[in-house]
Structure 1
């Protein structure tokens, strides 16, 4: 949404404006780009706040200097709203869900729920997967090579950092293009598996039920080849167990929390990104031993349908908060914008970059949206500037963070459980390779946190403890992993606060 599209904000004085609900719409893409060349950031909360007095002076009618064009000049009402925002202490606020724009054109790539595909569409998808899997394993566009970009032998995936979600959007596009390269499949698109439902029967039969690796994915790893993964056939848990695991790891709850966030946030910190990535990890661990191991997860055909759904949910969130354009997306960020610009925006091994992934020509047959009438989204946090008014509400959840886990000491994906009186009341799955010290991204983000949100009644007057398990090593070392060897993580428990 742009300022000109939001006439209610442009033409009426808002007595108690906030950045996310009002101020961010005051700056057009051309305004942001023009001032960026002068070293002034108008695209983010931190940038607008730090330049607020100068912005007000330069834009106030009747003798405004900025924007330089007549069409961009601020009305007296908008200027007064901006002044009110300054006087009230620059409140960040929360997002009021944005009404999605009407469909203006036929999408070039429409992805559908796999269960709703017609028989002809599903036959086409089957032919595309079969053709891709039949290609020689050394072919650059074979299923084996494409899956190997995420796991062994290449291990390009950028987990648990800002580029993670954009990386997967491009990865899906590359894989979808490969499906389209199969003769006769030029119009195929990748469907999604809505994980609020059980694993569809369609994904439990060839070629979607399993994949037999035609070559050793670990043999080409340098300097230390990875052994023990050949011969190898992908494995999943029974369908009922997958559904039970999704519930046990609270995957759907984390996804719901992610979609209710006003800001993009950061992995291990807050916002959409933190809860979406946490749900991603637990979803992987819920599905099976193959999906729970980054070295081989992408060889399981269900990987693509699972990640297609996560991309659908990201686009749902983008649409909710008015972040489907790069300019709109930047308004949901704070200071951390480097990953959208060179040289920090790369998505190896792809030529595409992070900022190019914000806008997409892909659409879905269904997005998870809410209307403005359903209220604002949340922006809860563990701390806030004392200069602001704030509130604790009895309905707000408690945040329990297991903080400072040294993941490099843990051999493989692991489960962090929160126990009350010896009973597991919450658990999360953390997705990482068996040898995290050999993964550059893991090393760069070697200390991680796990977040639990829950109502107070699940915690009060109970004896709490934390446990870490490494399920992939039950036969070698047992599942329990000593907390002292995981960096002796600490517990950060807090009531969440929001602006009043």
Structure 2
């Protein structure tokens, strides 16, 4: 269909290059796998394709004049990034992979697959007592998430999804180490569903008893030997999922066509800039949904120190990995090369040997991108809500580019400048209008954030609430902070001890 009069990078340009083009030009120092790489080298690329020297004629992949004209039109229009076309037709074949992770809600109560899962769980739990030094013992695998292992915290950064994908494989392999369970596959809990599978409240999935004490890096006791994990009742979890707007945040994340907007913390553009020039990373999208989901489940799941000890954690996180894979499939980012085209910023975190190592798993972030190469696929819920792709929110634009005001009643209220390093544990921010709660969202973090290298990277952050104009019109806006304790307590925490928070109200803008 070339030439395209007004092409964009995500819809047209990135598909002009083959894998072989990318490898060959990468050897010449031209990165065709990222938006920035193609934009930076656009003049050189156009010169070569126009003159017919790239790709070499003998490879029979030379661009037609119409293809070259499409590329020129993209340059002429100012290198628009645009939107990735969605691919919603995603059939899953059980024979395609060795590990097909299914919805736990689809397991029959007395089925063989549920019996196998129970046997595998009971097997690694029994290792706590019979072989406590076994790396597949439940206590040892769960302890990798935070405590008592050295802190491997990879939350609120680009490595969050790849690290947890590797972690799920480690846990699933532990389950498979039990005799007779070599084919067991971890199912997921679809947190968007209105129901929670009742089996999650039956042994061995209902709770965990600590065989040893767990202490934070500062020596504080997080759990004593003999303590059990604590979780809310089923109906309360459902209500809190609604309260934290977990489903809405998932839908927003799935509508994002850029990695930075889906991931929602680290990256080029989820930043809030105030009139005085101060900038804060915005806590939103899939990370916001994840943190709210943790907070909704109960005292143990609220605490990174202990969360992975609650058996619910594994079904919960299997779903977050599924949602990341779902997003990759939607926007043609399932291979490493294709995934890099969805990045707006630098891809160093995927390739830098220092940054992309996922300790303690002995793998790299770039090795965790293609789930199929890991022999993993997901059977997605057939009625899952998939939103249309949407433009990323922008707060400003160059006058030459222009912006438009979206005609709707929703506004964005941001609480920014929150210093998380001064807050000892997971917490929630509550948006108040005339002292009445309007919205609330949670942040999942260590009780010792100053001792966490990842937390220290981005100590201050912003959190954005989308509200109806009528909810806040002519009302005084303020914010409150509540701290979650490992014991299930919730206590007010003075905002004055958490930096110098500010409130910014914005209307929705689009390019």
Q: Return the TM-score normalized by structure 1.
A: 0.91
In the TM superposition, what is the alpha-carbon distance from 1:34 to its structure 2 partner? 2.3
Of 6, 31, 35, the residue aligned with 1:45 is 35
1:84 maps onto 2:73 in alignment: yes
Question: Measured at CA, do residues 258 and 130 of structure 1 come closer, stay the same or move farther in structure 2, by a change above 3 Å?
Answer: same
Of 355, 358, 364, the residue aligned with 2:369 is 358
Q: Which residue is equivalent to 1:492?
A: 504
CA distance in 2 between counterparts of 1:145 and 1:117 reads: 28
Alpha-carbon contact 1:137-1:215 (below 8 Å) kept: no
What are the equivalent positions in structure 2 for 1:63-212 lying under 5 Å apart?
63-68=51-56, 70-100=59-89, 106-118=96-108, 119-135=111-127, 136-154=131-149, 155-197=151-193, 198-212=195-209
CA distance in 2 between counterparts of 1:335 and 1:149 reads: 30
Question: Measured at CA, do residues 435 and 190 of structure 1 come closer, stay the same or move farther in structure 2, by a change above 3 Å?
Answer: same
CA distance in 1 between counterparts of 2:16 and 2:400 reads: 25
CA distance in 1 between counterparts of 2:283 and 2:427 reads: 20
SS of 1:158 mapped into structure 2: coil
Alpha-carbon contact 2:123-2:178 (below 8 Å) kept: yes
In the TM superposition, what is the alpha-carbon distance from 1:401 to its structure 2 partner? 2.1
Of 231, 238, 242, the residue aligned with 2:237 is 242
Q: Which residue is equivalent to 2:277?
A: none
In the TM superposition, what is the alpha-carbon distance from 1:400 to its structure 2 partner? 2.2
Question: Measured at CA, do residues 333 and 385 of structure 1 come closer, stay the same or move farther in structure 2, by a change above 3 Å?
Answer: farther
Q: How many residues align?
A: 482
Q: Which residue is equivalent to 2:327?
A: 317
Q: Return the TM-score normalized by structure 2.
A: 0.89
Q: Which residue is equivalent to 2:465?
A: 452
CA distance in 2 between counterparts of 1:207 and 1:403 reads: 42
Q: Which residue is equivalent to 1:18?
A: 8
In the TM superposition, what is the alpha-carbon distance from 1:126 to its structure 2 partner? 0.2
Question: Measured at CA, do residues 469 and 273 of structure 1 come closer, stay the same or move farther in structure 2, by a change above 3 Å?
Answer: closer
Alpha-carbon contact 1:400-1:451 (below 8 Å) kept: yes
Of 426, 430, 442, the residue aligned with 1:413 is 426
In the TM superposition, what is the alpha-carbon distance from 1:100 to its structure 2 partner? 4.5
Cα-to-partner distance string for 1:260-304 (whole Å, 9 max, x where unaligned): 001010516539994101111110000000000000000000000
1:400 maps onto 2:413 in alignment: yes
SS of 1:279 mapped into structure 2: helix
Q: Which residue is equivalent to 1:443?
A: 456
Alpha-carbon contact 1:132-1:178 (below 8 Å) kept: yes
Question: Measured at CA, do residues 371 and 482 of structure 1 come closer, stay the same or move farther in structure 2, by a change above 3 Å?
Answer: closer
In the TM superposition, what is the alpha-carbon distance from 1:196 to its structure 2 partner? 1.9
CA distance in 2 between counterparts of 1:371 and 1:153 reads: 38
Alpha-carbon contact 1:137-1:214 (below 8 Å) kept: no
Alpha-carbon contact 1:91-1:388 (below 8 Å) kept: no
Question: Measured at CA, do residues 370 and 284 of structure 1 come closer, stay the same or move farther in structure 2, by a change above 3 Å?
Answer: closer
SS of 2:60 mapped into structure 1: helix
CA distance in 1 between counterparts of 2:84 and 2:469 reads: 26
CA distance in 2 between counterparts of 1:71 and 1:103 reads: 34
Q: Which residue is equivalent to 2:25?
A: 35
SS of 1:470 mapped into structure 2: strand
Question: Measured at CA, do residues 240 and 212 of structure 1 come closer, stay the same or move farther in structure 2, by a change above 3 Å?
Answer: same
CA distance in 1 between counterparts of 2:486 and 2:437 reads: 20
Structure 1 residue ranges without an equivalent (≥5): 1-10
What are the equivalent positions in structure 2 for 1:272-351 lying under 5 Å apart?
274-341=284-351, 342-351=353-362
In the TM superposition, what is the alpha-carbon distance from 1:242 to its structure 2 partner? 0.5
SS of 1:15 mapped into structure 2: coil
Alpha-carbon contact 1:96-1:321 (below 8 Å) kept: yes
In the TM superposition, what is the alpha-carbon distance from 1:397 to its structure 2 partner? 4.2
Question: Measured at CA, do residues 398 and 36 of structure 1 come closer, stay the same or move farther in structure 2, by a change above 3 Å?
Answer: farther
Alpha-carbon contact 2:303-2:486 (below 8 Å) kept: no
In the TM superposition, what is the alpha-carbon distance from 1:84 to its structure 2 partner? 1.1
In the TM superposition, what is the alpha-carbon distance from 1:380 to its structure 2 partner? 2.5
Of 456, 466, 475, the residue aligned with 1:462 is 475
Structure 1 range deviating more: 183-192 or 455-464: 455-464
Alpha-carbon contact 1:19-1:91 (below 8 Å) kept: yes
Question: Measured at CA, do residues 13 and 50 of structure 1 come closer, stay the same or move farther in structure 2, by a change above 3 Å?
Answer: same
In the TM superposition, what is the alpha-carbon distance from 1:375 to its structure 2 partner? 5.1
1:390 maps onto 2:403 in alignment: yes
Cα-to-partner distance string for 1:409-461 (whole Å, 9 max, x where unaligned): 01111100111122211110110111212222212222222122234333333
In the TM superposition, what is the alpha-carbon distance from 1:86 to its structure 2 partner? 1.1
In the TM superposition, what is the alpha-carbon distance from 1:101 to its structure 2 partner? 6.3
SS of 2:485 mapped into structure 1: helix
| Aligned-pair Cα RMSD in Å | 2.4
CA distance in 2 between counterparts of 1:14 and 1:212 reads: 62
CA distance in 1 between counterparts of 2:210 and 2:411 reads: 45
Cα-to-partner distance string for 1:296-346 (whole Å, 9 max, x where unaligned): 000000000000011111111111111001111111112231110122101
Alpha-carbon contact 1:264-1:273 (below 8 Å) kept: no
